[in-house]
Chain A
């Protein structure tokens, strides 16, 4: 029998009990959709980081705390490091050295969380984030280093209701005026509030210390070698963009595994539903399978027919799951756009293939036992003629 005839016959077999088939396919759809949505979060975050890091300045990020331990809660790198790096600049091909202080302000409400990003006002925001554009007001000026000022990312301005002239309280004793609002970037920068280095160091009680030093190179292709050299000579952590990406990738892989593990429960339940439906179909059609075998169908044909029904059911559920997952992703992104100005979830070709592949595997595994049973039926028993 040709494959097309087999698929057609399997489809007709499934449509015999439409409601049962629909409900089983719906079970798979929901299971696959939950997997797609869970895993799409990792894909979205990957996309955000890979698309943004190219635009973000530092070829090398020098710090005291290794990347794997995250951002130090309090600036802990002596600011003298800047001078040490500048001294090495001619030898190592360093173009600019920018000290950075980062402080996270957060609460229970994630929309109220922002990153305070302090850097020398004289170098400007463009020294680290060259793609930023102004929507209102002005950028930082060298004079702001003494008086204090803030340029607010689009999403931070929206979430904290900050506009030109607003006062941003850094703590009970310190505050700065908002002098500019950035245009939306659809990225992490939207949640940043940029300030001159000195006022932020002062408000954080970290005079003379920074969180990290951002280094730009004449030739970014030398980043790995220069980072190693800095690390060895100054006894500091020096991470390149690719170190940062691979760190993110490692973290996301662990997170992917956890999220996949959670969605696996739904997938197993869906698989059992398929197995149950196909097994019931085999029981109900015992006589029919006996007849097919009697008139010349090989055991392998019956096995293939039942397996094809199982695969079809799972694939229909899988395609439905990808589509439903897509709807879920749109909803998740509407929320994260509002929250942080980023698309946290993304349906990539890799994820689509994974979802369909898992559906296929689910159908295969669910159909194996019913298919084996159907192919081993005794014809005389099946026809009820013993």
Chain B
């Protein structure tokens, strides 16, 4: 297995990802909890690590960046598009075109094989079977799992399943990759392999946002943000 070698020129689009005055307040009992304080930032291409302890607001930030949640103030800009102004359907389309996701748990579809899981975003996009099968095979080879293509997620180890999840995230050649604690459930050695794959994706010109509480992993990123009590700060 090697680091991601997809050249930047092959990435469909590399939209700039930025947030402007982004904040999130949750109602709590009679009062309110500020999960994320107003925050403006442009995410450059490369690997950006967002670090902070549990409950600091890292995942809230990722939910807002992905369009899973709606901010209380501000907006998320993906290229020329204001993500926060889009309908649910348009957000889904934007995620399919421009985003890849890697979750803490691999979140693979249990009834689909590794190959079919990687193919899935391409199936959603309506690619012909031959094209999507070829692309999935390439990606599984890239993450070193071409021989496990026909295995179900339940037949894969945690590390293997997470590598399949990275292959799935890269299937549509997205410009933005959001990873939420992707090494959180893995041993150190497997975690390093996953990180190497993300590193490769970033080196290929993508904007990779890596949420982690592990300072050692964060140290390998190009850019750093830290979150504490909902306040995001550089470094």
* Alpha-carbon separation in the docked complex, A156 to B102 (Å): 79
Which residues of the other chain, B, contact A293 by a CB distance below 8 angstroms? 92
B111 CB within 8 Å of chain A: yes
* Segment at the interface with A among B11-19, B62-70, B196-204, B214-222: B62-70
Q: Are B92 and A16 in contact (CB under 8 A)?
A: no
Interface size class on chain A is 20 to 34
* Alpha-carbon separation in the docked complex, A16 to B112 (Å): 10
Nearest CB in chain B: distance from A171 CB, A? 75
Which residues of the other chain, A, contact B100 by a CB distance below 8 angstroms? 295
* Alpha-carbon separation in the docked complex, A375 to B113 (Å): 24
A91 CB within 8 Å of chain B: no
Q: Are A12 and B126 in contact (CB under 8 A)?
A: no
Given A296-B99, A298-B89, the answer on whether A288 and B120 have CB atoms closer than 8 Å is no
Q: Which residue of A lies closest to B90 (CB)?
A: A298
Which residues of the other chain, B, contact A358 by a CB distance below 8 angstroms? none
Q: Are A292 and B123 in contact (CB under 8 A)?
A: no
Which residues of the other chain, B, contact A298 by a CB distance below 8 angstroms? 88-89, 92-93
Q: Are A288 and B93 in contact (CB under 8 A)?
A: no
B168 CB within 8 Å of chain A: yes
A294 CB within 8 Å of chain B: yes
Please, what's the 1-or-0 string for A280-295, where 1 marks a CB less than 8 Å from any CB in chain B?
Answer: 0000000110011111
Q: Which residue of B lies closest to A296 (CB)?
A: B96
A78 CB within 8 Å of chain B: no
* Alpha-carbon separation in the docked complex, A383 to B102 (Å): 12
Which residues of the other chain, A, contact B63 by a CB distance below 8 angstroms? 379-380, 385
Which residues of the other chain, B, contact A385 by a CB distance below 8 angstroms? 59, 63, 68, 180
Q: Are B88 and A299 in contact (CB under 8 A)?
A: yes
* Alpha-carbon separation in the docked complex, A385 to B112 (Å): 23
* Alpha-carbon separation in the docked complex, A120 to B110 (Å): 81
Given A294-B101, A380-B63, the answer on whether A288 and B109 have CB atoms closer than 8 Å is yes
Interface size on B, residues (CB 8 A): 31
Given A292-B109, A385-B59, A385-B63, the answer on whether A297 and B124 have CB atoms closer than 8 Å is yes
Q: Are B96 and A294 in contact (CB under 8 A)?
A: no
* Alpha-carbon separation in the docked complex, A378 to B59 (Å): 15
Which residues of the other chain, A, contact B126 by a CB distance below 8 angstroms? 1-2
B5 CB within 8 Å of chain A: no
Q: Which of A1, A2, A294, A378 has the most CB of B within 10 A?
A: A294
* Alpha-carbon separation in the docked complex, A234 to B126 (Å): 77
B39 CB within 8 Å of chain A: no
A5 CB within 8 Å of chain B: yes
Q: Which residue of A lies closest to B59 (CB)?
A: A385
Which residues of the other chain, A, contact B66 by a CB distance below 8 angstroms? 294, 379
Q: Are A291 and B107 in contact (CB under 8 A)?
A: yes
A301 CB within 8 Å of chain B: yes
Q: Which of B96, B123, B126 has the most CB of A within 10 A?
A: B123
Q: Which of A5, A16, A383 has the most CB of B within 10 A?
A: A383
Nearest CB in chain B: distance from A285 CB, A? 9
Q: Are B123 and A5 in contact (CB under 8 A)?
A: yes
* Alpha-carbon separation in the docked complex, A15 to B59 (Å): 34
Q: Are B109 and A300 in contact (CB under 8 A)?
A: no
* Alpha-carbon separation in the docked complex, A294 to B121 (Å): 10
Q: List B70-119 residues whose CB lies under 8 Å from chain A.
A: 88-89, 92-93, 95-97, 99-101, 103, 107, 109-112
Q: Are A296 and B93 in contact (CB under 8 A)?
A: yes
Q: Are B111 and A296 in contact (CB under 8 A)?
A: no
A328 CB within 8 Å of chain B: no
Which residues of the other chain, A, contact B96 by a CB distance below 8 angstroms? 295-297
A123 CB within 8 Å of chain B: no
Q: Are A12 and B111 in contact (CB under 8 A)?
A: yes
* Alpha-carbon separation in the docked complex, A213 to B18 (Å): 96
Q: Are B89 and A12 in contact (CB under 8 A)?
A: no
A13 CB within 8 Å of chain B: yes
Q: Are B112 and A12 in contact (CB under 8 A)?
A: yes
Which residues of the other chain, B, contact A5 by a CB distance below 8 angstroms? 123
Q: Are B109 and A1 in contact (CB under 8 A)?
A: no
CB within 8 A of B95: which of A287, A296, A300? A296
Q: Are A296 and B59 in contact (CB under 8 A)?
A: no
* Alpha-carbon separation in the docked complex, A171 to B96 (Å): 88
Given A13-B111, A300-B89: 9 more A-B contacts, CB < 8 Å: A15-B111, A293-B92, A294-B103, A295-B168, A296-B99, A297-B96, A298-B88, A298-B93, A299-B92
Q: Which 4 A-B pairs have the closest CB atoms?
A: A296-B96, A379-B68, A291-B107, A298-B92
21 A-B residue pairs with Cβ-Cβ distance under 8 Å, sorted by A, are A1-B126, A2-B126, A16-B110, A288-B107, A291-B107, A294-B103, A295-B121, A295-B168, A296-B93, A296-B125, A296-B172, A298-B89, A299-B89, A299-B92, A300-B89, A301-B92, A379-B68, A380-B68, A380-B69, A383-B68, A383-B103
